[in-house]
Homo-oligomer: A and B are copies of this chain.
Amino acid sequence: MSAPGKPPRLFNRVLAIGVGLIGGSICLGAKQRGLVGHVLGYSRRLETTHEALRLGLIDECVVSPGDSTVRQVDAVVLSIPVRQYKQVLTQFLPVLPANCVIFDAGSTKADVVDMIAELEPQFPGLIARFVPAHPIAGGETHGPAAALPDLFVGKNCVLTPLAGTSAVNLDRVAAFWKALGATVNQMQALDHDEMFGTVSHLPHLLAFAYVASVLDHPKGGRFMQEGGAGYRDFSRIAASSPEMWADIFQNNSKALLAALGQFEHTISRLRQAIEQDDRKTLEQVLATAADYRSAWKPR
């Protein structure tokens, strides 16, 4: 038994595929808490893997999926763009031990669930071993240097297991996220995507669109220099990674575009109310939003 208060070691040998803000923070947080033994790191660019090693996020660099060092891992965590999962898994799965648990940290989940089901015939047992996860953390910084050991403390982490996910693996991954400080909850992948399409992906799309549209104005850059605290907070997420968010928008297009349609409907109502001096509708829509948002508290 471990000493009281000290979390036990959960994995002996972990392979982190992707060692940027999210992957790096998972590794660093797990190492500092003693949740893991030896941490191997892999990323598309060797330079990034070396940076993660230098920063102490990982213990060893994996240069290629063929490296014999990956044959003994008991857990794999994917923190790369979801669009790259299939290719990377296809390279690593033939080498990985059959009993290692695999989980991810991607922002969309129905596409991940579909991809796992699609790979199952080629890699029997994959569904049982794979625990789709989405920690609600991150931000507009990226790369290994942005990693923080406490990034997930007090944050939510949503698990969207498949019907065939093994309960043991689900429990191991849930215990890992809890030990990193997150609150873990479970839902269906489609429910997850609808929820986060609405409360995360749509705000990102709107913030990107807003900043890009202002830059279309000849004086737009000059205008934004005068932005105050409202501008600052509203547009903050427009500084997020274009590559990662283009992935998310494409991977969750159905739920995102449905939420966008609702938004466009409300914007039309407000435009019309302003054009027609319809004070009653205008104030009523604003009050609906303000009443909700004034009472809102982060979980």
Residues on A lying within 8 angstroms of B by beta carbon are 136-137, 139-140, 155-156, 194-196, 198-200, 202-217, 219-243, 245-246, 249-250, 253, 256-257, 259-260, 262-267, 270-271, 274-275, 277, 279, 282-283, 285-290, 292-294, 296, 298-299
Provide a sorted-by-A list of 25 A–B residue pairs whose CB atoms are within 8 angstroms: A136-B226, A137-B228, A195-B222, A203-B210, A203-B235, A209-B267, A209-B270, A212-B285, A213-B259, A213-B263, A213-B265, A217-B259, A224-B296, A227-B296, A227-B298, A233-B236, A233-B237, A234-B234, A234-B236, A238-B293, A239-B290, A239-B293, A239-B294, A242-B287, A250-B277
| Minimum Cβ distance to chain B for residue A264 (Å) | 7
Chain B nearest Cβ from A243, distance in angstroms: 7
The copy count of this chain in the complex is 2
- Residues from chain B with a CB closer than 8 A to the CB of A240 are 290
In the bound complex, residues from chain B placing their C-beta under 8 Å from that of A236 are 230, 233-234, 293
Q: How far is the CA of A207 from the CA of B242 in the complex (A)?
A: 22
Docked complex Cα distance between A206 and B234 (Å): 9
Q: A206 touching B198 by the CB < 8 A rule?
A: no
- A285 in contact with B224 given A233-B234, A234-B237, A257-B275 (CB within 8 Å): no
Given the complex of chains A and B, what is the CA–CA distance between A200 and B194 in angstroms? 29
- Whole-angstrom distance between the alpha carbons of A285 and B299 in the complex? 32
List, in ascending order, chain B residues with CB within 8 A of A194's CB: 219, 223
Query: Is the CB–CB distance between B224 and A279 below 8 Å?
Result: no
Q: Which residues of B contact A233 (CB under 8 A)?
A: 233-234, 236-237
**A198 is contacted by which of B204, B223, B286 (Cβ under 8 Å)?**
B223
* Contact present for A264 and B267 (CB under 8 Å): yes
In contact, B200 and A228 (Cβ under 8 angstroms): yes
